[in-house]
Structure 1
Amino acid sequence: MRIVTWNINSVRLRLPLVLRLLQEMQPDVLCLQETKALVDVFPTGPLAEAGWSHQLVAGMKGYNGVAILSRLPIEETVSREFCGRTDARHVAARIDGGPEVHNFYVPAGGDVPDPAVNDKFAHKLDFLAEMTQWLGTERSPDHPMILVGDLNIAPLETDVWSHKQLLNVVSHTPVEVEALDKVQASAGWIDAVRKIVPPEERLYSWWSYRAKDWSAADKGRRLDHVWVTPPLDGGIRHAEVIRDARGWEKASDHAPVVVDLDL
C-alpha cells in the first residue's frame, strides 16, 4: 500500500498538481490538508474520473479542510472536532481490507510561542493535548493504524535547517516537541519516514514562499508526517519526500510525503 500525505494549500487552485501527483506516484491513498473548500465545492468529479472515487472530505470555506482519497473502498470511522471548534482538521477512515487512516491538520500556532499572549499558540497546545488524550483512550496501539498529516511541528534537530536559530520559532520550540512526543506515545506511534531516512539525515517537507530561491536557500522544516502503530512497523518498505513537487508551477509550500507499506 502506498500512502501519500500533502498539505495542498487549496485543492481547487492546485487540482492540476494533485492530478499530476496521482498519475506520477500512483498512490493507493492520498491524504490532503488545507484544502480550503467546503464539501459541496470539493473537486469530487475530476478526482473520481482520475480513479479515486472513494473520498472522505471535511471542509470549511477558505480555511483548513482535510480529505482522504482512495482507490479502494473506505468506510468513515470518525471525523472528530477538537477544542470545541468546527474547523475541519481531522478525518479517519478504514481502508477496505486494511488499516484505519487518520488524517490531521494541526493548527500552525501563530508567530509568538507564548500561550499567555498568543491565543493561536494556546490553541495549538490544547489541540495536541486533546489529540493525546483521545488517541490514548479511544484507539489501541494493538490495532493497525496510520496517522498522517501536517502536524506543524518539526521535532528533530535534523528536521529544521538550523536547530539553534529555530529553538524559539513556532514549530520547533521545546514545548511543541514535547507535546508532539506525547501524541506519538499515546498509541505507540512509529515515525515511518524516519524508519527509512535515518534521524541523522536532514529532511524537510516545507519551504517558505518568502525565500527568493527556496531550493538554493534550503531553509526547510519537516512538518508533514506519517506514523504507524506497531502492527505495521515491520511492513515499512520505503519513505521519501517528493521535493521536486515544491518546484512545480504554482506549487504548495509543502511537498508530498510518500510511504510504502507491506500489509
Structure 2
Amino acid sequence: MSESLQGTVALITGASSGIGYAVALRLATAGASIAIVARRRDKLEELASKIGATGSKVLIIEADLVDPAQAAAAVANTVTEFGRLDTVVNSAGVMLNGDSLTTPMADWELMVDLNLKALMYVTKAALPHLIRDVETSPRHVADVVNISSIAGRVARRHVAIYNATKFGVTAATEAWRQEYTRQSVRFSVVEPGAVETELFDHQSSITQEAYRKMFSDVEKLHAADIAEATAFIVTNPRRVAVNEIVIRPTDQV
C-alpha cells in the first residue's frame, strides 16, 4: 500500500524533460516538496508551474551536474530552502551511441561525466542529509533511486561506453544499498527499456535511423510509466525495500 510523501522533500535531477520531468510531477502529486535540477531553466519553469498546480512546493535549480561544485550546491540549496532531504532521484543522463571507431571521444567522456560521475557527486553530497533526516522523517526512511537502463544488464555492440556507465550505476546502487540499508536509507535502481523521450534525439542521424528500424514495431514506454515505477518504490512503507525494477515495453525482445 502506497504512503503519502507529505512532509518530505525530493530532489530530482534531469528534470527538464523525459523521465526526470515525469518523476518530479508524480512525486509532487504524492505530496512531496520538489527541487528540480537541470540546465534548461525555461523547461524547469514550465515544470514548476505544473508542480505548483498540485499544491506542492517547488524549487528551481539551474545547474550543470558534471561540475561537482554545482552538484553539491544543488543539494545544499535544497536543504537550505526546505530544511531537509528525504528522496533523491538521479535521472540526468545522455545516450550517444554508435560505431566505436567513429564516435568522438568527447561523446564517451560526456556519458561518463553525466551518467556516472554526476550521479556520484549528487549522491555523495546528499547522503549526510538523508541519513540525518531519517530521524525526523514522517516516514522513518529515505530513498535514493537511480535511473539506469537495461543497458546496465546486457552489453551490445555500438553501446560500449553507455553500457559501461549504466553497468556502473547498477553496481554502485547495489553496493550503496548494502552500505546504508541499516541506516534506513534505501537504494534502488530502475532499468527501463525503450522509452519515448529526448534520449534518442541526441544520437547521430545514422544511429537514429538504426534505432527507428530496431523499434519500428515496438510501442515504447512513456516517461510517466517510469515515474509510476519510481513512485511505487519511494511510497512503500519503511519495511519494504524495492531494490531493482526492470521495465520494458511489452513488445521489446
TM bucket (normalised to shorter chain) is: 0.3 to 0.5
Greater RCO between the two (CA within 8 Å, min separation 6)?
Answer: 2
More strand by share: 1
TM-score (norm 1): 0.45
